[in-house]
Amino acid sequence: MPSTRIGHAENRDWVDFAKGVAIILVVLYHCGLFLSALDLAEGTSRIRAVLAFYPMPLFFFVAGLTSQRMLTWSFKDLWRRRLLTLVYLYLLWSLIRVVFYLLVPHLRATESAPTDPLNVLLLPVWPTSSYWFVWALAVFTLLAWLVRGVPRPAQVTAAVLLAIASTTTGLLDTNNVGWDRVAQDFLFFLVAMFVPHQTCRLAARVRLWHAIVLAAAYAGLAAVIVLLHASRLPGLVLLESVVAVGAGIAWSVILRRFRWLGWVSALGQRSFQIYLVHLFLIAIALWALAPLAGVHVLKFANLAPYLLAAVVLLASVYLSKLLRPVHWLWVSPFRSRPTPKRAGKKVESAS
C-alpha cells in the first residue's frame, strides 16, 4: 500500500493496478466480515475464505519490491526514513479507532473490544487493531534489516518454513492476527526485496495464456482448500498464496492496458489511504443497517457485501481527499529532515 517509486528503465504500471484490485478485495472482505455480524452476508463465508489468499500477500510483495535499498542504511536512517512513519501511523490510527468506538457501537461480538484498556496498552506488541498491516510492515522492515547479513538462501528457507507452519491448520497459531500474518507473509516481503528487477522483467514478458493458466491454478487450489477443507495439508495454503500473487501480477499486466479500467489503478494509487479510512465507514454502515438484520430479502440476496463495498470504496476516496490537508494523519510530524552531505547534491527524500 505504501507509495512505490518507479524506475524509468522498468515499466511498473501494473503495480498500481494490482494494488487497486487488492484494495477492492480487502474492502469486500471486510464488508462481508462485518455484515456477517448482522447475519446479512449469508453464503459469503466461502468467498471471504478465497479472498484471504490474495490481497495481503500482494501488498507485502509490492512493499518488498521497493525495500531493497534500506538494507544499506544505518539504523538511524532506517528509523528516520521508514520505521518512524510506520510506527507513528499504526499507533495514531489505532488510537483514532479506540476513540471512534467510544462513540459508535462495536457490533462485532467475535472481535475483542477495541476500547478494552488492556488491548489499548498492548497495541505496540499485541496488535488487535485493524491496522495490524501497518504494524506488520514495521516488523518486516526491522526484521529484514536485522538479518541482512545472513545468507539469502537461509533467510528464504526460514521464511518458507515459518509460512508453511503458520498457514497449515493446527501447526502454528498465535491467536493474534498481527503475529499470525507476520509469520505467514514475511516470505513475500523478503523474496520481493531480493528480486525487484527480475520481477519486473518477468512481468514485462507476461502473455494472456500465462494469466489464464495461473487463474485456473488459483481456482483449482481454492476449490480444493475451501470445498475439501484441505488447509491441513502442509504448504497448500502457502502455494495458493504464491499462485495468487503470480496471477494477480499477470492479470494486472494484461488488464491495465485497457483505458476504461484506469479507475482501478487510481484506487491502487490511493490504496493506503483507503485502507486507513474504510473500516470506519463500514462500521458506521453496520450501525445504520442493524435495524435491517431481520429483513430476509437482504439476508438471502447476498448482494449486501458487494453493494456496501462499492459505496465504501467511493466514500473512502472522497473522505481521504477531504482529509488530505491534515498532513499529520498521513505522515509523521516527528520526522527529521536529512542534511545534505555536500552542497549541490540532491538529497533523497524519505521513503
C-alpha span between 285 and 276 (Å, rounded)? 16
Region 99-105: mean pLDDT is 90
- Does 294 fall in a domain? yes
Of 1-10, 85-94, 232-241, 311-320, the least confident = 1-10
Domain count, the chain: 1
- Does 2 fall in a domain? no
Summarised one tens digit per residue, pLDDT across range 322-336 is: 999 999 999 888 865
The pLDDT of residue 351 is: 36
Task: Provide the percentage of residues in the chain whose pLDDT is more than 90.
Answer: 62
- Does 300 fall in a domain? yes
Say which amino acid occupies 299.
Answer: K
- Does 349 fall in a domain? no
- Does 334 fall in a domain? no
Q: Which residues of 322-340 are buried (b: 16+ CB within 10 A; e: fewer)?
A: eeeeeeebeebeeeeeeee
C-alpha span between 80 and 351 (Å, rounded)? 10
Summarised one tens digit per residue, pLDDT across range 29-52 is: 888 888 887 777 665 666 666 677
Residue 18, all three cell numbers? 494490482
C-alpha span between 64 and 119 (Å, rounded)? 29
Region 2-16: mean pLDDT is 59
Residue 50: which domain range? 13-329
- Does 346 fall in a domain? no
- Does 177 fall in a domain? yes
Helix ranges, the chain (H): 13-35, 45-51, 55-65, 75-78, 84-103, 117-121, 132-146, 152-167, 177-194, 196-204, 208-227, 236-255, 262-269, 271-289, 296-301, 304-323
The pLDDT of residue 350 is: 36
Of 17-21, 93-97, 114-118, 182-186, the least confident = 114-118
The pLDDT of residue 5 is: 45
The pLDDT of residue 12 is: 74
Summarised one tens digit per residue, pLDDT across range 103-158 is: 988 877 666 788 888 888 999 999 988 899 999 999 999 999 999 999 999 999 99
Summarised one tens digit per residue, pLDDT across range 271-285 is: 999 999 999 999 999
Across the chain, what does the average pLDDT equal? 86
- Does 158 fall in a domain? yes
The pLDDT of residue 49 is: 67
Region 185-199: mean pLDDT is 95
The pLDDT of residue 213 is: 97
